[in-house]
Amino acid sequence: MNNKVIVSCPVTGSGDTASKHPDLPITPKEIAQASIDAAKAGAAIAHIHVRETDGKPSRKLELYKEVADRIRSSDTDVIINFTTGMGGDLEIGEGKDPLNPVGPNTDMIHALDRLAHVEELLPEMCTLDCGSLNFGDSNMLFVHTPMQLRKAAKMMQDLNVKPEMEAFEMGHLWFANQLVKEGLINDPPWYQICLGIPWGAPATTSAMKSMVDMIPANGMWAGFGIGRFEMPMVAQSVLLGGNVRVGLEDNLYIEKGVVASNAQLVEKAIRIINDLGATTLSPKETREKLKLKKQK
C-alpha cells in the first residue's frame, strides 16, 4: 500500500464529451480555472489538453500558452502536465486502398512536432504514450512507433521535462521499460497505467496487478480507470502501492446521472485515500519525489 499518494487531475481531455457535460472546461480560462480548482481540492498535478471554442480537441500553441500563463500567474501551486498525444490519430479508409484516402478524422504530424508546445512553454511534465493502439470500436488507431518514441523521449530529456509514460496495455509497459534501460528516461521513471479504454487493458484488479508487476523497483506509477471504474481504481491503485488520477477526461459523473466538477472528483478520491489510512502529497512534495525541474 502507498501511504503518501500523488493525485493527478486530467481536467478536460480530448474526447467527444463537450456535448455530454454542460460545464466541461473548453476555453483556456476555463481549463486554467479547472486546474486551479483541482489543486485547491488537493491535486498535485493538472494534466492538460486544450480545445477549440466548439469543444473539439486542438494542438494550438497559443491556447496552451494562455492556459499555462493563467495557472502560473495565479496564487495556486500545481504541477503542469501537458499532453503530447495530439497528432497521432490515423483513421483507416473504407475503400480498397485503406490509405488513399484515409478517414477524415486522421490527424498525423511528426512525432517531434507533437512537442512544440512543450518545447516553447516548458511544463514540468508531459505525457509520452508508449505505443500504438486500436482506439475505440472503429477504424481509428493511435500511432506511436518505437523510433518516434525514442526521439520524443530524448527531446523531453534534453528539455528537462519529466515524461509521464502512459501504458494502455502490457506491450506499452514493456517498451517504456526499454526506454528506461536505454537511458532515455531520468530517474525516477514515472508510469501511468491507463485502464478501460477500448481496446487496451480492462479496468480490473488482475490487469492492474499484472502491469504493476512489470514496473522496475526504481519506478513510480499512478493508475486510473475510466467511467464507473474511476473510483474503484483509486482504491486499487493505493492498495497496490501506486498513485491516482481522477478528472473529467476519465469520467463525467460524481454519482449516477449527476455530472461532476474536477474539484468534486478530486475531493471524492481524497476521501477514499484518507479512508484507507493514507495521505496525499502537495505539489512541492511531489516535485521533490519525482525530481522535477521547475523551469518557468
Best CA proximity match to 76, nearest among 98, 124, 43, 125: 43
> What is the model's pLDDT at position 295?
64
Which tens digit of pLDDT belongs to each residue from 13-24?
998 898 899 999
Task: Please say if the pLDDT value at position 294 is more than 80.
Answer: no
The residue-averaged pLDDT of 120-147 equals: 95
pLDDT above 70 as % of the chain: 99
What is residue 296's predicted lDDT score, i.e. its pLDDT? 57
Query: In terms of DSSP bridges, do strands 140-142 and 88-91 run parallel, antiparallel, or are they unpaired?
Result: antiparallel
Q: Which three cell numbers stand for residue 65?
A: 500558452
* Percentage of the chain modeled with pLDDT above 90: 92
What is the chain's alpha carbon radius of gyration, rounded to the nearest angstrom? Answer: 18
Q: Which three cell numbers stand for residue 49?
A: 489538453
Query: Cα separation of 218 and 270, whole Å?
Result: 25
CB contact burial 14-35 (16+ within 10 A = b; e otherwise): bbebbeebeebbbbbebbbbbb
Work out the mean pLDDT of the chain and round it to a whole number.
96
pLDDT of amino acid 188: 98
**CA 64 to the chain's CA centroid:** 15
* The residue count for the chain: 296
Decide if pLDDT at 98 tops 60.
yes
How confident is residue 61, by pLDDT bands cut at 50, 70 and 90?
very high
For the cut 60, the answer to whether the pLDDT of residue 211 exceeds it is: yes
4-290: CATH topology: TIM Barrel (3.20.20)
What cell was used for 211? 502491469
How does 90-128 read in b/e, with b if 16+ C-beta sit within 10 Å?
Answer: bbeeeeeeeeeebbeebeeeebeebbbbbbebbbbbbbb
